Amino acid sequence: MPVTTSPPRRPAAGRAPLPPLGYLPLAERPVQRLARLLVGLALYGFSLSLLVRAALGVNPWSVLYQGLQHHSSLSFGTISAVVGVLVLLAWVPLRQKPTLGTFANVLVLAFSSDLGLAVIPEDLGMAYRCFLLLAGILLNGFSVAVYVGARFGPGPRDGLMTGLAATTGRSVRFVRTGLEVTVLAAGWALGGTVGLGTVLYALLVGPVTQFFLPYFTYRRPAPAADPA
């Protein structure tokens, strides 16, 4: 029985098509891609600190980190690293394989988010907090495009999502929503901050990331034309 395939989906009008994002080995343009990876992750961690200092609601995983922070003496960044390692343990039964990008995600995010929280003051006025919220969301989406575009593999949380989707047969959208809701509920129960910023993040970070991805994704050079 012949196998039929559906034609590739065309991008919506006015929307740039997503570039290839699959993992590429370190040997391929290592300096350029490592720079993108580290800069993107550093900006991502800093964007989390902007959202925390805005105090208007953070993204679901940060809600969990904040909630756990209320019940421990560990810093926000250290908790994110500990949670990242625990999530990596969940990769084992899912047969997911970590990459350089996975470990860099854990370490760089922890350092840069703590650094941001150390330099950004607390108890700011409402106008400044609103600015930090919007800046944090925009920087977050931009930084995701930069480090994902380096094509060094998923971070712990994204790998958990794709592993669960592959194992259960559910769509990535379904699994991601389930994970985000679960993490958000757990973090809120522990005392994490849920608010307007949480909603705005959910609505805006995806479109911002998609806008920047075509500009910051590494593409393999086109093969040279055969003179013959």
Can you tell me the mean pLDDT for 203-225? 85
- Res 129 pLDDT > 60: yes
Number of neighbours of residue 69 by Cβ within 10 angstroms = 20
Question: What pLDDT was estimated at residue 7?
Answer: 45
Angle between the N-to-C axes of helices 100-119 and 76-94, in degrees from 0 to 180, rounded to the nearest 10: 160
- Res 130 pLDDT > 70: yes
**Rounded Cα–Cα distance for residues 75 and 53 (Å):** 14
Integer angstrom CA distances of residue 62 from 10, 16, 46, 83, 183:
34, 30, 12, 11, 9
Residue 54 near residue 133 (C-beta atoms within 8 A): yes
Can you tell me the mean pLDDT for 79-105? 93
Q: 224 phi and psi, to 5 degrees?
A: -65, 145
Nearest to 39 by CA among 156, 164, 175, 148: 148
Residue 116 near residue 48 (C-beta atoms within 8 A): yes
Whole-number percent of the chain with pLDDT over 70: 89
Question: What pLDDT was estimated at residue 195?
Answer: 95
Chain mean position to CA 64: 15
pLDDT digits (tens, 9 = 90+) for 98-114: 999 999 999 999 999 99
Higher-pLDDT residue of 219, 222? 219
Which residue matches tokens 């391929």? Answer: 28
Residue 220 — very low, low, confident or very high, per pLDDT cuts 50/70/90? Answer: confident
Range with lowest mean pLDDT among 67-71, 199-203, 221-225 = 221-225
Higher-pLDDT residue of 219, 46? 46
Q: Kindly state the tokens that stand for 20.
A: 């290839």
Largest Cα–Cα distance in the chain? Answer: 69
Return the sign of the alpha-carbon dihedral for residues 141, 56, 159, 9: negative
What's the whole-number average pLDDT of the chain?
A: 88
pLDDT digits (tens, 9 = 90+) for 161-177: 888 888 888 887 888 88
Residue 16 — very low, low, confident or very high, per pLDDT cuts 50/70/90? Answer: low
Return the sign of the alpha-carbon dihedral for residues 175, 110, 132, 128: positive
Range with lowest mean pLDDT among 74-78, 117-121, 170-174 = 170-174
**Rounded Cα–Cα distance for residues 53 and 100 (Å):** 30
- Res 134 pLDDT > 90: yes
Question: What pLDDT was estimated at residue 1?
Answer: 42
Integer angstrom CA distances of residue 117 from 23, 36, 42, 63, 120:
32, 23, 13, 15, 5
- Res 119 pLDDT > 60: yes
**Rounded Cα–Cα distance for residues 227 and 192 (Å):** 62
pLDDT digits (tens, 9 = 90+) for 1-11: 433 444 444 54
